[in-house]
């Protein structure tokens, strides 16, 4: 009997708990979601918006359409800035009413909605929607607005107004090149007397047809391409088409051309203007623009800037042992699966992996300077630093020898390198790279020093 009564009470409790959860917890959550959705000025999905029109008072109206990408069709025909347009669409989709001012206003003039500062019209899923933004409210950072119901006046947040109020310059794409950088097969950099042409072979290696004997470093070409694709118009000068010669664009000071299998895009660079940048024209942007002058300074000057002058090519996994001689102190590190251990020195604490890898990365990126080679160095015993890399079976990968660390003001120094069992050869390296190498070796040998 007691068991039966307990089961009845338990059943009643579960029913009440379910009722409470459904009507109080879940129901309250649903009501909050409904109220939140009701605050949205538009019930639209930004992915379904395919057309935009912005009328900013006295400025010429701007029309954009979407066909794979956003394209401005009026007042000029040019690509839209995908990031800026996407941000605007996100704001439209999430635009919320802060407060309803009037449900059916008879006079819109007090709110600045008779002649709105911004009238935005957009097409979503075949339906046309309207947004008008008027004057700023006296109190708080809010603006009067109306939507499809023209006489319904509401307040929206000032931050949302700023996200929607975009000029033609804001909405224009600033990128000169639109092709995929991974598909580029030919690059031309013409400075008049100096012309650089690079082509990519089927094995993805780059070569210069005019100097096939020169080995091109892929990472340098990738950096070059990355620089081209980072170039952005900082200002548009749409009324300078008749002044190309005066601006140094006809003929151009620099002509950049990149090609894929399907298309070629060309950018012209002209004169520079103090504190404003350089004049530019071409690519996928109409008219004349200004670009940052400091980025142009990073463009390669000659083929030598792209040459692969790596001292020793090796993979980190190849290195199984590392011998160091620093200021007369000798030590040897050996790889033990994922760790490195000092050999024959139980009192020395084994190094952290990142310290060894840092030194190896340092050696990997060492490049000799272009031009002449220094005289061969004597096999002096008083080397400041010697590093020997070993692969499996204790085979030498390379031996680096530094006789002197360049002072802080010295631009270059000499490093000796013996590849495998070959005779050592001396190379000029930048003073900075040699100072960094010496410092990394010191930190590996004496981390606390």
Q: Name the band, by pLDDT with cuts 50, 70 and 90, for residue 15.
A: low
Same domain membership, residue 50 and residue 159: yes
Q: In this predicted structure, what is the pLDDT of residue 214?
A: 94
> Mean pLDDT across the stretch 131-153?
92
Give residue-wise pLDDT tens across range 388-445: 999 999 999 999 999 999 998 889 999 999 999 889 999 999 999 999 999 999 999 8
Same domain membership, residue 185 and residue 165: no
Residue entry with tokens 């600045």: 112
Say yes or no to pLDDT of 59 above 60.
yes
Q: In this predicted structure, what is the pLDDT of residue 378?
A: 59
311 in any annotated domain: no
78 in any annotated domain: yes
Same domain membership, residue 331 and residue 402: yes
Q: In this predicted structure, what is the pLDDT of residue 33?
A: 46
Structure tokens at 169: 């310059």
Same domain membership, residue 301 and residue 246: yes
DSSP letter assigned to residue 46: G
Q: Mark which of 306, 330, 365 sits at the end of a domain.
A: 306
Q: In this predicted structure, what is the pLDDT of residue 23?
A: 57
Say yes or no to pLDDT of 239 above 90.
no
Same domain membership, residue 218 and residue 198: yes
- Domain containing residue 162: CATH number: 2.60.40
CA distances from 212 to 178, 183, 259, 294 (A): 29, 22, 20, 31
Same domain membership, residue 333 and residue 279: no
The rounded percent of the chain whose pLDDT value lies above 90 is 74
Closest CA to 299 of 409, 361, 221, 238: 221
Contacts of 106 (CB under 8 A, 6+ apart): 151
205 in any annotated domain: yes
Would you say how long the chain is, in residues? 449
377 in any annotated domain: yes
Same domain membership, residue 162 and residue 216: no
Same domain membership, residue 355 and residue 277: no
Which long-range contacts (C-beta less than 8 Å, at least 24 apart) are formed by 245-254?
247/271, 247/279, 247/288, 248/279, 249/279, 249/280, 249/281, 249/288, 251/192, 252/281, 253/191, 253/192, 254/189, 254/190, 254/191, 254/296, 254/299
Give residue-wise pLDDT tens across range 94-114: 999 999 999 999 999 999 999
The mean pLDDT value of the chain amounts to 90
Same domain membership, residue 109 and residue 26: no
Say yes or no to pLDDT of 286 above 50.
yes
Say yes or no to pLDDT of 385 above 50.
yes
Same domain membership, residue 418 and residue 381: yes
Same domain membership, residue 88 and residue 142: yes
Asked if residues 154 and 96 have their Cβ atoms less than 8 Å apart, the reply is no
374 in any annotated domain: yes
Q: Higher confidence at residue 382 or residue 428?
A: 428
Closest CA to 375 of 427, 413, 421: 427
176 in any annotated domain: no
Residue entry with tokens 């120094």: 413
Across 75-111, the runs of DSSP E, i.e. the strands, are 78-79, 99-102
Record the pTM. 0.77
* Least confident piece of the model among 32-46, 76-90, 277-291: 32-46
71 in any annotated domain: yes
Q: CA 302 to CA 359: how far, in whole Å? A: 30
Contacts of 133 (CB under 8 A, 6+ apart): 116, 117, 118, 119, 120, 143, 144, 145, 156, 161, 164, 165
Total domains in the chain come to 4
Same domain membership, residue 297 and residue 320: no
164 in any annotated domain: yes
DSSP 228-292: HHH-B-SEEETT-GGGTTTTTBTTBSEEEEEE-SS-EEEEEEEEEETTTEEEEEETTEEEEEEE-
Q: CA 432 to CA 402: how far, in whole Å? A: 14
Domain with 83 in it: 46-171
Q: Mark which of 171, 190, 220 sits at the end of a domain.
A: 171
Q: Mark which of 306, 329, 346 sits at the end of a domain.
A: 306
Helix (H) or strand (E) holding 30: helix 27-38
Across 275-358, the runs of DSSP E, i.e. the strands, are 277-282, 285-291, 321-326, 329-336, 339-342
């Amino acid at each position: 009997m007691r068991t039966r009564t307990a089961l009845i009470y338990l059943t009643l409790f579960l029913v009440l708990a379910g009722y409470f959860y459904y009507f109080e917890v879940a129901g309250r959550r649903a009501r909050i979601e409904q109220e939140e959705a009701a605050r949205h000025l538009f019930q639209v999905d930004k992915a379904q918006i395919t057309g935009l029109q912005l009328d900013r008072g006295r400025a010429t109206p701007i029309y954009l359409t979407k066909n794979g990408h956003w394209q401005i069709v009026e007042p000029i025909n040019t690509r839209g800035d995908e990031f800026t347009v996407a941000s605007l669409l996100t704001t439209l989709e999430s635009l919320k009413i802060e407060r309803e001012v009037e449900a059916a206003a008879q006079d819109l003039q007090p709110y600045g909605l008779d002649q709105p500062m911004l009238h935005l019209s957009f097409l979503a899923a075949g339906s046309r929607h309207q947004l008008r933004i008027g004057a700023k409210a006296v109190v708080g950072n809010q603006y009067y607005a109306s939507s499809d119901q023209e006489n319904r006046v509401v307040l929206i947040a000032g931050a949302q107004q700023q996200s929607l109020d975009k000029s033609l310059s804001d909405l224009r794409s600033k990128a000169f090149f639109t092709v995929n950088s991974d598909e580029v097969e030919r690059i031309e950099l013409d400075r008049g007397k100096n012309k650089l042409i690079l082509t990519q072979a089927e094995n993805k290696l780059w070569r210069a047809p005019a100097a096939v004997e020169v080995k091109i470093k892929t990472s340098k070409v990738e950096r070059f391409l990355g620089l081209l694709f980072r170039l952005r118009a900082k200002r548009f000068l749409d009324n300078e088409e008749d002044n190309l010669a005066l601006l140094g664009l006809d003929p151009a000071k620099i002509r950049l051309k990149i090609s894929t299998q399907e298309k070629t895009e060309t950018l012209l660079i002209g004169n520079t203007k103090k504190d404003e940048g350089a004049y530019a024209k071409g690519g996928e942007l109409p008219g004349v623009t200004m670009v940052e002058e400091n980025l142009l300074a990073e463009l390669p000057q000659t083929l030598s800037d792209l040459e692969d002058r790596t001292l020793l090519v090796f993979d980190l996994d190849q290195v199984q042992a590392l011998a160091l001689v620093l200021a007369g102190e000798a030590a040897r590190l050996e790889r033990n699966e994922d760790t490195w251990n000092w050999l024959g020195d139980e009192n020395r604490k084994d190094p952290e992996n990142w310290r060894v890898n840092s030194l190896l990365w340092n050696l990997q990126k060492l490049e000799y300077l272009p031009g002449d080679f220094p005289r061969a160095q004597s096999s002096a015993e008083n080397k400041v630093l010697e590093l020997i890399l070993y692969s499996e079976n204790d085979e030498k990968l390379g031996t680096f020898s530094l006789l002197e660390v360049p002072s802080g003001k010295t631009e270059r120094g000499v490093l000796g390198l013996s590849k495998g069992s070959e005779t050592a050869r001396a190379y000029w390296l930048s003073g900075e790279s040699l100072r960094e190498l010496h410092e990394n070796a010191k930190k590996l040998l004496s981390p606390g020093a």
